[in-house]
Structure 1
Amino acid sequence: MSQRRQFTINVEPHVAEIGDTELLFQPEVMGDEFLDAYEDLQETQKRLGVDVNDLAGVEPEKLRLIVASLRVFLARLMLPESADEFLAWDVVKAGKVVDSYPTEEEAEARAAKLKDAAVRVGGMRLPDRVLVQLLEWAVELYGGGSRPTTSSTGSAAASPPPGTRGRAVSRSKGSTRTGGR
């Protein structure tokens, strides 16, 4: 006998309301998009030797890089118009923003043409606690509620169908058969 099962794909974007701003996140993330973005975030943390659960005493420059990688991670999961509002790359000279660009590469190219210019992550200004809350929410949405540790190919085997009896012998006296029953 054939079986039929219907699967639903989300088509409405997820919405993060921050004050008067709504950031739209992809309704579904296909393939390994989430895992690839999350892995890049973890690689940055490892490369910098920073534990995001303990940021006390972290050098300010390393903290800036962690915040930038967090913003890039979140922007990768957003719809393009929200990503453009949320993340920008600023060219800074003498403490002032000279230009902003949608990609780090464009900002780096501009900064290289200016003397003593640097590139900093820019875009929507948010407290760090909100960025962390957005991270936790994104992990819940796309990662099944917990932080992933490996690629999706490392998934556990499916559970046996309900009602299937195991073949192991029970050592419990309460579950052994008794004569005459």
Structure 2
Amino acid sequence: MRKSFALHTEPHVADVGGTELFFQPEVFGDEFMDAYAELRDARKAEGVDLDDLADADPSDIRKSGRALRVFLARQMLPESAEQFLRIDVVKAGKVLRSFQDLEEAEAYAAKQKGARIVDALRLPPRVPAELMEWVVELYGGGGDARPTTSSSGSSTASRQAGSRGTGRSPSKASTRTRGR
């Protein structure tokens, strides 16, 4: 008996507000788990409790968010990763300099009176969290991570067989039974 397993060959694409981020077609398990462990360790080291952000230091929250971006970028193709990780030091609406490293950006911004750092690809906090869930499904084996036989990427999940539940549909409650 012989069994063949298809591998993704086309990048996965995340469309984030019109910006396309390209993710690696396949990620090896050890690389994925190493990156995930680094993310977990970084969040633990920062001591950021996501359920109690009111007491967290803003700098620690920024570092925790950055750790998530670094994890996601490790799953991306290089050009997308560079775009996703770019940090701009901005003063009076003008980009003074761009960085990939948070600490370097913070050090440079500290020397520029009135400057601040911003992610070049500004996103609401929910988007990296949603990307994280998607990436874990893609590479961690959950969800619809199986490749299709075509090169079009992941297929849509099939509908589960069987009944959908035991609750009555409101429309069926008023439907007359045939033959009565």
Aligned residue in 2 for 1:61? 59
Gap regions ≥5 residues in structure 1: 147-181
**Pairing partner for 2:19 from 18, 21, 42:** 21
The separation in 1 between residues aligned to 2:68 and 2:127, in whole angstroms, is 11
Residues 28-39 of structure 1: matches in 2 within 5 Å? 28-39=26-37
Gaps of 5+ in 2: 144-180
Alpha-carbon distance in 2 for matches of 1:121, 1:139? 26
Q: 1:46 deviation in Å? A: 0.9
In 2, the alpha carbon distance for the partners of 1:63 and 1:105 equals: 13
Query: 1 CA distance for matches of 2:20 and 2:26?
Result: 18
Q: Which residue of 1 aligns with 2:48?
A: 50
Shift of the 121–76 alpha-carbon distance from structure 1 to 2, 3 Å rule, reads farther
The C-alpha deviation readout for 1:105-147, integer Å capped at 9, x for no partner, is 8946x839x577999562311000111111111111111239x
SS at match of 2:55: coil
Cα pair distance change 1:95/1:18, threshold 3 Å: closer
Q: CA deviation at 1:73?
A: 0.7
Q: Is the 8 A contact 2:66 2:102 kept in 1?
A: no
CA RMSD of aligned residues (A): 3.2
Amino acid of the structure 1 residue aligned with 2:138: L
Q: Could you say which structure has the greater relative contact order, defined with CA pairs below 8 angstroms and 6 or more residues apart?
A: 2
Structure 2 counterpart of 1:85: 83
> Secondary structure of the residue that 2:53 maps to in structure 1?
coil
Task: For 2:123, give the aligned amino acid.
Answer: L
Q: 1:93 to 1:47 in 2, by over 3 A?
A: farther
Equivalent residue pairs, number: 143
Q: Which amino acid aligns with 2:141?
A: G
Aligned mate of 1:130, from 115, 127, 131: 127
**2:98, 2:50 → 1: CA distance?**
27
CA-to-partner distance for each residue in 1:20-78, whole Å, 9 max, x for gaps?
Answer: 11111111002411111111111111111123354343221111111111111111111
TM-score, normalised by the number of residues in structure 1: 0.65
